[in-house]
Amino acid sequence: MTKFGIGQPVPRSEDTRLLRGAGRYTDDVRMPGQKVGYVLRSPHAHAAILSIDTTDAASMPGIQAIFTAADLKQAGIKDIPCVVPLRVRAGTTLHMKHRPVLADGFVRHVGEPVAFIVADSLYQAMDAAEAVMVDYDMLDAVVDTAAALTHPAQVHGDVPANLAYDWEKGNRTATDDVFARAARIVRLDLINNRLSANPLEGRACLAEHDTGADITRLTVGSQGVHDMRDMLAGIFGEDRARFHVLTHEVGGGFGMKLFCYPEYVLACFAARKVDAPVAWTSSRAEAFLSDDHGRDNVSVAELALDTEGRILGLRADIIANMGAYLSNYATYIQTDGQTKMLSGVYTIPAIYARVRGVYTHTQPVDAYRGAGRPEAAYLVERLIDKAAREIGQDPAAFRRLNMIPPSAMPYRTPLGHVYDSGDFAGTLEAALERADRAGFPARRAKAREQGRLLGLGIATYIEACSGGAPEAAELLVKPDGSVLLLIGTQSNGQGHETAYKQVIAEVLGIEPDAIAMVQGDSQVVKTGGGTGGSRSIPTGGAAVRDGAADVISQARPVAARLLEADEHALRFEVTDAGGGFAVTGSNRFVPFIEVAAAAKPDADGHVFRGKGKYSPPSNTFPNGTHVVEISVEIDTGVPRIERYTVVDDFGTVLNPLLLEGQVHGGIAQGMGQALLELIRFDTESGQLLTGSFMDYAMPRADHLPMIDFSLRPVPCATNPLGLKGAGEAGAIGACPAIINALVDALADHGVTHVDMPATAPVLWRLIHSAKAATAA
């Protein structure tokens, strides 16, 4: 272990520039002669477009061009595709409705792009937008997830009952059998509330067309440039070499910036047409109307138990809101993304899940921090808690009884994941101890004296990370021994630069200052899988380590020459003084820097080009336990989190500072979902009701106490660095732990469930109506 290597709390090298305002975000980039793009959006949730007249608007001052669906059609621009195929239930039909770049014939959600106006200034564009005459014939709208299947309003004329897909997983017959002979069936109806990601930095893009090279360059706040480039190429029906995608600093993505949005296609299209750079920057109001949303499920969950309280089976019937069109990965999130995790940390012999995706007159819904795994953990951990209460068992004891023991690893769940490692009961025990559960009754009694109902909630979560695509890393070494890392993952603020430098420092023994990173450039970096599903450090980190090891291999012959020794006799050593080659059985040593200086540079001036590639053999499975104490003020229903304890197993720790930051942020986000956040549409008009921070409540610092965070790592057996990933964990454990705690607080009032967000008026009413019921 070295000072800057793996496991060290190295401060983020990004922060110096970011905190001083020297970061370069998309909207900081300015091109000479750049124009402004502005989207005219639908004011209606559902309407037929009878006509669009841009004549007056086009002749207004500063207007370069106005584009509608007709222009795109003429140019052969395709819809933005949903790229995940889906095998639906036998006898049912999959209805893939891809997202149009501009509405063609119909608008299907408030905020849907109708026309793109390119002007010299934003205000000129806005003036022109007001002068575009769109003749709408308004139609009925449906926004509600549960209602979509039976509502008379139809989002797409050829999609009966608004059913995008009807999908299943698991053995239905076997599961039904288990339920038929169960001693007890526990049922829970629950809603996973719709959310907006609301990153600090909104979406933005800047497109320019290089006529000479015939390449369109898009600078965009993304979570990976290569997928974005390929998506654009497909939509334009052109070779991907004609698109160059750049991403600079990104101020938060949370999944929402993975996707290709209409504005990006429009900016590229317009830049070519008007022969000038075209920039588009979302306002906060537009963000609420145009960013993909997250979650939005309505589920019925059931658990079958034997007489001793052992779990026999789990059934879930999930309705998932897709919005009006399928976003890039929409078909995955609530199908495999969610249901594959329905085993949780428990031995559940039989699992069956059915998921119906429904279209509504709302903007598309796609991945949001956890992308299905938080939904699964919420369903499982709420159901487990309810089951324990129903059979009168202690929720911790009930969990313990049903947990997969470490001796069962690797453990194959009925839905096909193979958990490589984990000591679930171990983290549960550790968390209960740190949370001083023993002292809880006394704290509860004291709170009661102060007019507050105190509850304790537990959630033992597991999630799947780092699956899917391989990642490659290239390390270019200069004669001065400095390293340039090229990698196709994309930091959205997590601190990848710091983390990767640590991996390189660990292997090569060089100082972080001698390492630089290039990400977010689809030309310089040849391939990349982007950032999502906590894959960057486990997958990217492994590739970086591989690349660094390749550098050592390339340096070895040079070192052998310098040391006048046989290559096989050389050992690469890393100490606090740095890295270098030593001759076994002697004190002869040559520092890496000297080896680099002695090597022959190639045409680009690099002495070594280390290449690493890592294909994850399977997912990794971070897990842990959250224990929350929350009090509810009897007078007002106001919930207050009193204590928050979390014990996680993330496998090997790369940087404890970065890790704790991820956990804190995740918990804040999960707490936001549990207590505050909800996207609401008017059920009649389909208008967005929570269109600004005046009505959409975000988590704030004073909502959380200090978080007691600790680790109980079990190294990952399938990742070469032992890493499991940690990007979503906080957001996954927080929701069920908080709601379990609230139910515990209100259990004496007859409360068995409360949906998220559990706001003060909702909680007050639960206490109040229970009171009335007892009195009666």
Partner 1 sequence: MYGFDYHRPTALADVVALLIADEDAKVLAGGQTLIPTLKQRLAMPSALVDLSAVPGLREIVAEGDGVRIGAMATHAAVARNALVRAVLPGLADLAAHIGDAQVRNRGTIGGSIANADPAADYPAAVVALDAIIRTDRRDIAGGAFFTGLFETALQPGEVMTSLFFPAASHARYAKFSNPASRYAMAGVFVAKRGDAVRAAVTGAGPSVFRWHAAEAALSARFSADALDGLVLDAEGLNSDMHADAAYRAHLVGVLARRAIA
Q: Which residues bind partner 1 (CB under 8 A)?
A: 123, 126-127, 285, 635-636, 676, 680, 689-690, 693-698, 759-761, 764-765
DSSP state of 695: T
- 127 vs 629 by CB, closer to partner 1: 127
* Closer CB to partner 1, 635 or 684, in the complex: 635
CB 649 to partner 1: min, Å: 33
Smallest gap from residue 114 Cβ to partner 1 (A): 18
Closer by beta carbon to partner 1, 286 or else 366: 286
| Closest to partner 1 by CB, 659 or 756 | 756
DSSP states along 445-471: HHHHHTTEEEEEEEEEEE--BS-SS-E
Choose between 123 and 214: whose C-beta lies nearer to partner 1.
123
SS3 state at 730: helix
Task: State the nearest-atom distance from the C-beta of 770 to partner 1, in Å.
Answer: 15
Residue 575 vs 636, nearer CB to partner 1: 636
Q: Are 503 and 510 in contact (CB under 8 A)?
A: no
Residue with Cβ nearer partner 1 (507 or 756): 756
Q: Which is nearer to partner 1, 603 or 694 (CB)?
A: 694
Q: Are 716 and 421 in contact (CB under 8 A)?
A: yes
Enumerate residues 6+ apart whose C-beta is below 8 A from 43. Answer: 110, 136
For partner 1, the closer of residues 286 and 474 by Cβ is: 286
Residues whose CB falls within 8 Å of the CB of residue 488, separated by 6 or more in sequence, listed in order: 224, 225, 226, 471, 472, 519, 525, 526, 527, 528, 529, 530, 540
Would you say 55 or 692 has its CB closer to partner 1?
Answer: 692
User: Which helix (H) or strand (E) segment is 665 a member of?
Assistant: helix 656-675
User: C-beta of 639: minimal distance to partner 1 in Å?
Assistant: 11
Q: How far apart are CA 336 and CA 169, in angstroms?
A: 8
CA proximity to 727, closest of 376, 474, 490, 447:
490
- Please classify residue 126 by burial: count the beta carbons closer than 10 Å to its beta carbon, then call 0-12 exposed, 13-18 middle and 19+ buried: middle
Cα 311 from Cα 154, distance rounded (Å): 40
Distances from the Cα of 312 to the Cα of 183, 186, 230, 373, 449, angstroms: 10, 11, 45, 22, 42
Report whether 671 contacts 193 (CB < 8 A).
no
For 391-439, where are the alpha helices, taking DSSP H only?
Answer: 395-402, 424-434
Minimal distance in Å, beta carbon 667 to partner 1? 18
Comparing CB distances to partner 1, the nearer of 342 and 767 is 767
* Both structure tokens of 600: 């022959």
Q: How far is the CB of 456 from partner 1 (least distance, A)?
A: 24
Distance in Å, CB of 671 to partner 1, minimum: 12
Closest to 220 measured CA to CA, from 188, 176, 163, 259? 259
Q: Among candidates 542, 530, 716, which has minimal Cα distance to 619? A: 716
- Find the largest Cα–Cα distance for the chain: 95
* Residue 635 CB, nearest approach to partner 1 (Å): 5
Work out how close the CB of 576 gets to partner 1 at its nearest, in angstroms, rounded to a whole number: 45
Closest CB to partner 1 among 410 and 761? 761
Beta carbon nearer to partner 1, 17 or 765? 765
Please answer whether residues 614 and 620 qualify as being in contact, where contact means their C-beta atoms are separated by less than 8 angstroms: no
Q: Rg (Cα) of the chain, in Å, rounded?
A: 28
Least distance CB 685 / partner 1 (angstroms): 14
> Considering beta carbons, is residue 61 or 468 the nearer one to partner 1?
61
Q: How far is the CB of 698 from partner 1 (least distance, A)?
A: 8
In angstroms, what is the minimal distance from the CB of 696 to partner 1?
A: 6
Residue pair 686/110 in contact by the 8 Å Cβ criterion: yes
Closest residue by Cα to residue 626 from 746, 725, 736:
736
Residue with Cβ nearer partner 1 (651 or 691): 691
Least Å distance, CB 523 to partner 1, is 38
Q: How far apart are CA 561 and CA 585, in angstroms?
A: 17
Q: Taking the complex as a whole, how short is the minimal distance between the CB of residue 762 and partner 1, in angstroms?
A: 9
Cβ atoms of 673 and 738 closer than 8 Å: no
Q: Alpha-carbon dihedral of residues 498, 500, 502, 504, nearest 10 degrees?
A: -140
3-state helix, strand, coil in the chain (%, to 5): 30, 25, 40
Which helix (H) or strand (E) segment is 625 a member of? strand 623-633
Sheet of 63-67, strand order: 63-67, 113-119, 35-41, 278-281, 204-210, 215-220, 243-246
Measured from the CB atom, the residue of 133 and 285 that comes closer to partner 1 is 285
Q: 39 has which bridge partners?
A: 116
Q: Closest separation between CB of residue 758 and partner 1, Å?
A: 11
Q: Kindly state the smallest distance separating residue 682's Cβ from partner 1, in Å.
A: 10
Instruction: Please report how close the Cβ of residue 680 comes to partner 1 at its closest, in angstroms.
Output: 6
Given a contact cutoff of 8 angstroms between Cβ atoms, the answer to whether 611 and 550 are in contact is yes
**Cβ 771 to partner 1 shortest distance, Å:** 12
Decide whether 553 or 692 has the Cβ nearer to partner 1.
692
Q: How far apart are CA 354 and CA 26, in angstroms?
A: 41
Two tokens, residue 82: 């949903």
The phi and psi torsions of 567 (rounded to 5 degrees) equal -50, -40
Choose between 441 and 761: whose C-beta lies nearer to partner 1: 761
